[in-house]
Chain A
Amino acid sequence: MSSIDYTDWLLFDGAMGTMLQKNGLKLGELPEAYNILYPEIIEKIHREYIEAGSNIITTNTFGANSYKLKNSNYTLKNIISSAVKIARRAAGGKLVALGIGPIGQLMKPYGTLSFQEAYNIFSEEVKIGYAEGADIILIETISDIYEAKAAVLAAKENSTLPIFCTMTLQEDGRTLTGTDPLTIVTVLQGLGVNVLGINCSLGPKEIIPQLNDFIKYSKIPIMVQPNAGMPEIKDCSTIYKVTPSSFAASIRSIAEMGVSIFGGCCGTTPEFIREVKGVLNTIKPVARKVEKITTAASGFKTEIIGKGITVVGERINPTGKATIMEALRKEDIDYIALEAIKQKEAGASIIDVNAGMPDINEKDIMVKIITEIQALIQTPLQIDSMEPEVIEAAVRIYNGKPIINSVNGKREAMETIFPIAKKYGALIIALTLDEKGIPLKAEERYEIAKKIIATGEAYGISREDIIIDTLALTASAQQEAVKETIKAIQLIKEKLGVKTTLGISNVSYGLPNREILNSTFLKMALTAGLDAPIVDPLCKEISNAIKAFNVLWNYDKKAAAYIDSFNNKPVNTYVEDTKDQSLRETIIKGLKGDAKKKTRELLITEGPMDIIDNHLISALEIVGYEYEKGKIFLPQLIQSAEAVNQAFSVIKQQLPETLIKGKSNKILLATVKGDIHDIGKNIVKVLLENYGFQVIDLGKDVDSEEILRLVKSEDIELIGLSALMTTTVKSMEETIIRLKEHNINCRIMVGGAVLNEYYAKGIGADYYAKDARDGVKIAQKHFKLHPFHEL
């Protein structure tokens, strides 16, 4: 093996699949089987590419993973070992890249593949290829950045080889799962790959416009492997129309933009590589001017910090917030996810997540919260914890480039946090405090910032990946220190050229009308140059201050967003003109917004229990009856059920907690392993909650072990399982068997489109629920009570 010289051109080979088809591979046949059946063909193809001018060849292992090989006659070890051996033999002094393609399954929450499973699958491949003597790990044709992350970590943690990673973009400028080029650069570069780029899907001409952000922001070499044009379907075959010479001409244009590593994907042959080689021989690599930016990213989009105000939502934090504390204690991840959604809707560009409180497993809960929020919204997340272990677990599972909140000037903090930030490519918040505490004077805070940045750089973290928090002290305790925070922002921005963040709300602690102080402090800090205020975006004063600042600081051009926000009242698609209606009628009509208001009004004159008995229950009975009689259809039933839950959320605040908690009966719901259709289960949940049952919802694709764990820890008496497909009813049966093996004292009700009474009994269920309403009846019968009346 020779070492890699990134200052010169690197030329990979062209397509393997195309060549195999020319050599007799049938459609649907496993290309990797040729490593065993016809090694001479594979070796011949490698040699042809080397003769054409490739200095790196890729092993025939694109689909060699344990998922794709599951039903084949070959072992993973056999396929990959042979592939590397053949390539090594053909390579002579050239380099051999271990080709790793996507696993072939979409990851959670869309599919059923977890991040850890993906990591394990990639690790197996890497270990075999590394042991067999590959020189490079080439992770290619990836659409899902989360899958790319799993592959890169597997490569990093199981080998010492350089990692090249290419993703595949569509003509709309995103991957099939929705990631844009800037986010690809941000996330992959952060993860420490050696080379990144684009391959497949597009021809060389179509790739050119997609390269702009790569060229502009990538600090590492860029690689491009286009198809031989866009695929065209011609009767029984797919054809690519770009000729080798026009392919090479486009590669020349791409090379002139600053790309230095090439190769070909679908449809390319040794002739293409020969032409490209000819072109590269006549030109020299072009140096690029890379723009340095401070970024955080979800798996889908990147927030550039320092261009306008980046609002960081602070609400997911138990400190001083009883509802968040309660949600964390109950592991009510849905509630916390809703907080994230609300903040996003209110204009937050980053969401801070803090799950630190005593007597909970912070690490597990943090991972669950991150997993849930990243599945629902595309806003980048800020991992906020005092515990390095929690931070590492969270940034590992995150699908983008997170922000770590935080490091500080203490030696120990830097020694534990910087390596984590470096490994996972996080942006990191640095607090200007050290062993001696928070200094009073701005100049001293500046000194700490300077020290942190220098230490970070020693760990290989560039200064644009550190944002400084100059720390707000409370005006009630240290009034003279407040303006030092503001001065420090100016000083640090000017002298260190880094971006800044600041938790605003602390300033008003202990004083009345905190919003007034907070919003004034915010305006002061923004004027001083604060980039990323950490605030409550749902607070009117705060959001107004930001809106106004954006106009006055010339961010909001022509005040367009400002004007829009006042003109454009959200259009209400629901009819909510119900002044004369009773709460009961409001619920029957399914008017969710009004249900809350009406309940609040009623609470002035009636007790919470009376409202439940006289209004909610009777409305539910009417709606349920009409549904059974076919007078209304399912969406109307659910709409009413959701309205009841809205009313109930208001009432809950008035009821003593012990009354709600002590008497309600718990039901555990899950969509079984392998199945991802969970709308039916979600409907059952809403209805059960209507009737006062406490529902523990484990979600979809739930492992029987997880169900078992909760049945024991929560002392569950009744479980509801759902499965939509014939294939997943099998999994339902396995789950039931597993539960019964453990002799647990609980009953199981099942539901789903392909089930019926007979079938349900056949797989061992205790009850069959034909629809959500039936589920409620079963639950009531099982617990031998009408929960509300018992209250």
Chain B
Amino acid sequence: MNKLKSEVLRYLAYKNQPLDENINNLIDSTLKEAIELKNRGYKYTYRAFNISFDKKGVLLENSDIYLFGNDIYRHLNNSEKCILIAATLGIDFERAIIYNSKINITKALILDACGTALIEGVLDEIEMELLNSSITKDLQLTGRYSPGYGDFPIESQRDMALLLNTERCIGVTVSPSHILIPRKSVTAVIGLYKDKAISCFKTGCKSCNISNCEYKE
């Protein structure tokens, strides 16, 4: 089974049950459709900021915006710069989920899980692009950290969207409840640091302290 499909299954809280042909075919065909939707509609943008640290938090230079919270502070502690990223699968993906919710809920649920797996994949691609770009020359990358993780406030979505001008560049806006819309969109922060010897702050499932999460890798 390929990595993408196993990610999709993970988001469907799959626990190695036998997959009958019926559901397996539905997952395969939905994933294929999801990949096509993604390829037609995904967009992303990013920008580097020099950073400084003070009592309030991490200040993004040439702006008046702080990243708040102990966790993001620790995440970027050894970095001299950070990169803000925003990515989306686009509105047609959202439409497909809404449409299927009316005619085939099983498929809508699977499509939703595909979207979650695919947007993470887009972020992985962006990270590869960054590794090969001049922005990260002679620098190491930390993991990705997003608003809502740990004590990094979800309200920071709005600041990140503003700084990256996501509304104009990629069509992503933030709802009054701080939800990124279209829903299959992500913002993330990656730190850039010099010293190779530093082991950086862990991210992803490994760093999370929720023990009974059904999506745990």
Contact = CB atoms under 8 A, between A and B. Distances in A.
B203 interface: no
A642 B106 CA distance: 8
Q: Is the interface of A mostly helix, strand, loop or mixed?
A: loop
B154 A726 contact: yes
Interface in A352-386: 375-377
A147 to B, nearest CB: 11
Interface in A528-575: 573-575
A638 B105 contact: yes
B63 A29 contact: yes
A639 B177 contact: no
A676 B183 contact: yes
Contacts of A630: 15, 17
Contacts of B97: 679
Nearest to A201: B168
Interface string B70-97: 0000000000010000000011101101
Interface stretch (B40-48, B117-125, B193-201): B40-48
Contacts of A639: 22-23, 26, 106
A7 interface: no
B181 A110 contact: yes
Given A26-B64, A683-B105, A675 B179 contact: yes
B134 A235 contact: yes
A143 interface: yes
A350 interface: no
Contacts of A731: 177
B181 A674 contact: no
Contacts of A631: 17
A168 interface: yes
Interface string B42-75: 0001111110000000001011110000000000
Contacts of B134: 235
B34 to A, nearest CB: 14
B172 to A, nearest CB: 9
Given A574-B26, A635-B27, A682-B101, A168 B168 contact: yes
A62 to B, nearest CB: 10
Contacts of A686: 105
Contacts of B12: 633-635
A729 to B, nearest CB: 10
Given A589-B22, A635-B109, A728-B177, A376 B102 contact: yes
A479 interface: no
Contact of A233 (B46, B62, B109, B173): B46
B177 A573 contact: no
Contacts of B94: 110
B157 to A, nearest CB: 10
Nearest to B167: A104
Contacts of A674: 175-177, 179
A236 B62 contact: yes
Nearest to B27: A635
Contacts of B63: 26-29
A176 B62 contact: no
A88 to B, nearest CB: 28
B2 interface: no
Interface residues of B, number: 65
A28 B156 CA distance: 12
A573 B26 contact: yes
B20 interface: yes
Given A376-B99, A634-B12, A233 B106 contact: no
B205 interface: no
A476 interface: no
Contacts of B102: 334, 337-338, 341, 376
B47 A111 contact: no
A26 B22 contact: no
B29 interface: yes
Nearest to B160: A28
B112 A679 contact: yes
Contacts of A636: 17, 20, 23
Contact of B29 (A573, A633, A677): A573
Contacts of A128: none
A780 interface: no
A141 interface: yes
A236 B48 contact: yes
Interface in A190-246: 200-201, 231, 233, 235-238
Given A105-B175, A233-B45, A635-B23, A27 B101 contact: no
A679 B17 contact: no
A55 interface: no
A682 B179 contact: no
A684 to B, nearest CB: 10
A201 B171 CA distance: 11
B188 interface: no
Contacts of B135: 235
Interface string A675-696: 1111100110010000000000
Contacts of A634: 12-13, 109
Interface string B137-173: 0000000000010000010000100110001111101
Contact of A574 (B25, B60, B95, B170): B25
Nearest to B135: A235
B5 interface: no
A575 B173 CA distance: 41
Given A27-B163, A200-B168, A635-B23, A110 B182 contact: yes
A727 B148 CA distance: 10
Contacts of A642: 104-106
Interface in A123-180: 141, 143, 168, 176-178
A27 B17 contact: no
A238 B135 CA distance: 13
A685 to B, nearest CB: 8
B173 A105 contact: yes
A7 to B, nearest CB: 33
B4 interface: no
A574 B105 contact: no
B22 A233 contact: no
B17 A28 contact: no
B24 to A, nearest CB: 9
Nearest to A571: B29
A114 interface: no
Contacts of B167: 102, 104
Residue among A102, A176, A683, A725 facing the most chain B CB atoms (10 A cut-off): A176
Contact of A28 (B23, B110, B112, B159): B159
A630 B109 CA distance: 18
B77 to A, nearest CB: 20
B98 interface: yes
Contacts of A141: 168
A573 B104 CA distance: 13
Given A638-B106, A682-B101, A683-B105, A143 B171 contact: yes
A173 to B, nearest CB: 12
Contacts of A524: none
A237 B49 CA distance: 9
Nearest to A678: B101
Given A236-B62, A676-B181, 20 more contacts: A26-B64, A27-B65, A28-B60, A111-B181, A176-B170, A178-B91, A233-B46, A236-B49, A341-B103, A376-B102, A573-B29, A574-B25, A590-B22, A634-B12, A638-B106, A639-B23, A642-B106, A674-B175, A683-B105, A727-B154
27 contacts: A26-B64, A28-B63, A106-B182, A112-B175, A176-B90, A176-B91, A178-B91, A235-B48, A236-B81, A334-B102, A337-B102, A376-B99, A573-B29, A589-B22, A590-B22, A635-B106, A635-B110, A636-B20, A636-B23, A638-B105, A675-B177, A676-B183, A677-B179, A679-B109, A682-B105, A726-B148, A727-B154
Question: Closest 5 A-B residue pairs measured CB to CB?
Answer: A176-B171, A27-B63, A674-B177, A28-B65, A28-B63
Interface of A: 26-29, 102, 104-106, 109-112, 141, 143, 168, 176-178, 200-201, 231, 233, 235-238, 334, 337-338, 341, 375-377, 573-575, 589-591, 630-636, 638-639, 642, 674-679, 682-683, 686, 725-728, 731
